Amino acid sequence: MPQIVVLPHPTFCPEGVVIEAPRGQSVCDALLANDIEIEHACEKSCACTTCHVIVREGFASLGELDDKEEDLLDMAWGLEATSRLSCQAIVADEDLVVEIPKYTINHASENH
């Protein structure tokens, strides 16, 4: 089963962690299933950027971005070439290393 290495994040995962994720599961669902409470304000419907992650390793193994995800990512804080919405990034056969950005753009949240 592929592993996801989550780099340390001061709120969601201070020590960093390595989790297992079944092929076909979204990165967001894998994080949530392992008590990493990443924001997902649109309930994983690809309508916001709060679940934005930066894929440091394994980016090429993820499916291609569709136009909707690309358009949303253009609004994400800290966008990088390997940014994905974790609700749309589906785990394949390769291990991943992901970083949760320090900030998200969530106008409905008190914690941005």
Query: Domains, the chain, ranges and CATH?
Result: 3-99 (3.10.20.30)
Q: Which helix (H) or strand (E) holds 28?
A: helix 27-33
CB 62 within 8 A of CB 23: no
Mean pLDDT of the region 40-58: 95
What global pTM score does this model have? 0.91
CA distance 11 to 24: 27
Per-residue pLDDT for 111 more than 50? Answer: no
Nearest to 84 by CA among 58, 107, 65, 103: 65
pLDDT value at residue 103: 78
Sorting pLDDT into bands at 50, 70 and 90, what band is 108? very low
Per-residue pLDDT for 12 more than 70? Answer: yes
Per-residue pLDDT for 107 more than 60? Answer: no
